Amino acid sequence: MRVLSQPMAPSIWRPAVALAIGLSCAPGTPAGQPAMLDAGTEGGYVFTIEAKTVARDGERVRFRLLAANEAGADHYDSTIEVDCTHRTRRQLTAVADDGQGHVKQYGSEMASPHPISQGTRADRELRLVCARVGLQAAGQPLRAAAASELVDAGTDADGAHAIFIDTVRRQDPLIGYMLQTIAPGQANATRQHIQADCARKLRAVIHDDEAAAGTRVMAYRAAAGSREARELAIACALPEGPRSRWFAGFVVTSDGVVIAPHERTLGCAAIVTGPGPARQVLELIANEDDMTLLRLRRGGPWQVLPAADTPPSRGRQAVTMLGVSGVEPRVSAAFAERMGANQRDPGWPQVRTLAGHALPEGLVWDASGNAVGIALALGRPQARADQTWVRLLPAQEIRRRLALHQLSWMTAAARPADPERTMRQALAATLPLTCADTVAAR
């Protein structure tokens, strides 16, 4: 168990609180000099790094990465380069062998650098190779969470503070939760794990090296009338998370790979879909910056709306969006618009709808019946007058990210669309998902 210690007062020995969001840890240095380094598993593949190939070039590290499918004979042999300072990764070359005589070579078409998300297998890989050559992988700036996921916990000289609703965990008399702080003038957020004793008004910040049960941590009494006292009063009155909140997931492969908005999965101990006997917990493949990759464990083959092979048009393109409102699907007519259409989010294409019909996420398709992308709001959709804008993650970008996990989203040639057939495919490819407690979900 963890110990909350009050300065100059007897210690309080209580069981530790298990928080919903785990902290990413870098693996330890292997004993001796193994020929292959464990780089984790992902999407049914086991990844290893050839130790002798790890080479430093300034702030970058280059190495040979091998992947083998756990269920078959297919192998992937690639040369990877990571930037330890900027947390980016790119594949320079690769050879894919499916074990059945089909060999494909990749080159510069996959060599563009992309950011590495915290807590993913690629993050573990980054930390491992950077540490091996004497570099430290930089931490990832955190975006502010959506207002709907937070409760205001007051402002002081350090910034604006808010409690993540879904991270509240209780083990009487202790309570644990995660606190977001945005410093004055800053766009990025910091996050801290807090543990408190509500009855005695003691509050402690749990640091990375204190996460293990049995560690003695210093707790301080929140002064009456202070911001910390207000934070404790709010946290102690909150129900334990996660809430049973619904959001949309989208099937992109016939064997059940699902994309969901990353911000929506924050604080979820498990992601669940399906009623009654069909209820199942989805397997986590990876957390990306904008999206979470999941896999349905049973059922299928799953219906997939094919992806467009070209990006959305540079101007305005009439599209249809289907998302989830509560547990039911809802359709909205919309426009896909170029980057810059939303002043708050200028770096991405946007989906524009009428304010009364806005969906925070949705599968978006064109007149040819192909998905042009997925709408993923990072917060409440931006509204101006009677119009609402939501970020569009283009199908091409999703396909590129899936390829990094040896996954693909099928494409279809442009053709006159059968609107009813397209709608049925989109409905089948859209899943109502919800947060759930791991034990109850299983």
Residue 406's pLDDT is what?
87
Sign of CA dihedral 314, 361, 238, 21: negative
- Residue 322 in domain: yes
Residue 109's pLDDT is what?
64
**Same-domain check for residues 388 and 253:** yes
**Same-domain check for residues 161 and 195:** yes
**Same-domain check for residues 322 and 231:** no
Which CATH number goes with the domain that contains 59? 2.40.128.710
Residue 346's pLDDT is what?
62
Single out the residue in 186, 214, 237 at which a domain terminates.
237
Residue 209's pLDDT is what?
53
- Residue 137 in domain: no
Q: Are 241 and 167 a contacting pair, CB within 8 Å?
A: yes
Which CATH number goes with the domain that contains 164? 2.40.128
- Residue 218 in domain: yes
Domain count, the chain: 3
- Residue 257 in domain: yes
Phi/psi-derived region of residue 170, left when phi > 0, alpha when psi is between -120 and 50, beta in every other case? beta
Residue 235's pLDDT is what?
94
- Residue 19 in domain: no
Instruction: List strand residue ranges (DSSP E) for 198-297, in order.
Output: 202-206, 216-218, 220-221, 246-251, 257-261, 270-273, 280-281, 283-287, 291-295
Where is 189: in which H helix or E strand? none
- Residue 24 in domain: no
429: helix, strand or coil: helix
Provide the domain limits for residue 109.
36-132
What does each of the 442 residues of the chain score in pLDDT, given as a tens digit?
Answer: 355 666 543 332 232 332 222 222 333 444 556 799 998 876 567 889 999 999 999 999 999 999 887 666 788 899 999 999 988 888 899 898 887 888 888 877 667 787 776 656 788 899 999 999 999 888 766 777 767 678 999 999 888 999 988 788 888 788 999 999 988 877 778 888 899 999 999 999 887 655 555 667 788 899 999 999 999 999 999 888 766 667 888 999 999 999 998 877 876 778 888 766 778 899 988 887 778 999 998 887 999 988 887 766 556 788 888 877 666 678 888 888 876 676 666 667 888 888 777 777 888 988 888 898 888 876 666 677 778 888 888 888 888 888 888 888 988 765 656 888 888 888 888 888 887 754 343 4
DSSP state of 125: H
- Residue 25 in domain: no
**Same-domain check for residues 169 and 150:** yes
DSSP state of 147: G
Cα(24)–Cα(267) distance, integer angstroms: 15
Residue 45's pLDDT is what?
75
**Same-domain check for residues 392 and 442:** yes
**Same-domain check for residues 420 and 277:** yes
Single out the residue in 213, 237, 261 at which a domain terminates.
237
Give the model confidence (pLDDT) of 44-90 as tens digits: 678 899 999 999 999 999 999 998 876 667 888 999 999 999 888 88
**Same-domain check for residues 104 and 158:** no
142: helix, strand or coil: strand
- Residue 258 in domain: yes
**Same-domain check for residues 231 and 353:** no
**Same-domain check for residues 153 and 106:** no
pTM, two decimals, is 0.51
Residue 9's pLDDT is what?
37
Distant-in-sequence contacts of 411-414, Cβ < 8 A, 24+ apart = 411/306, 411/307, 411/308, 411/309, 411/370, 412/306, 412/307, 412/368, 412/369, 412/370, 413/309, 414/368, 414/370
**Same-domain check for residues 258 and 187:** no
Give the model confidence (pLDDT) of 296-307 as tens digits: 988 879 999 888
**Same-domain check for residues 118 and 150:** no
**Same-domain check for residues 90 and 172:** no
Where is 233: in which H helix or E strand? helix 227-237
Single out the residue in 69, 104, 132 at which a domain terminates.
132
Which CATH number goes with the domain that contains 347? 2.40.10.120
Residues 6+ apart with CB under 8 A from 370: 305, 306, 307, 308, 309, 395, 411, 412, 414
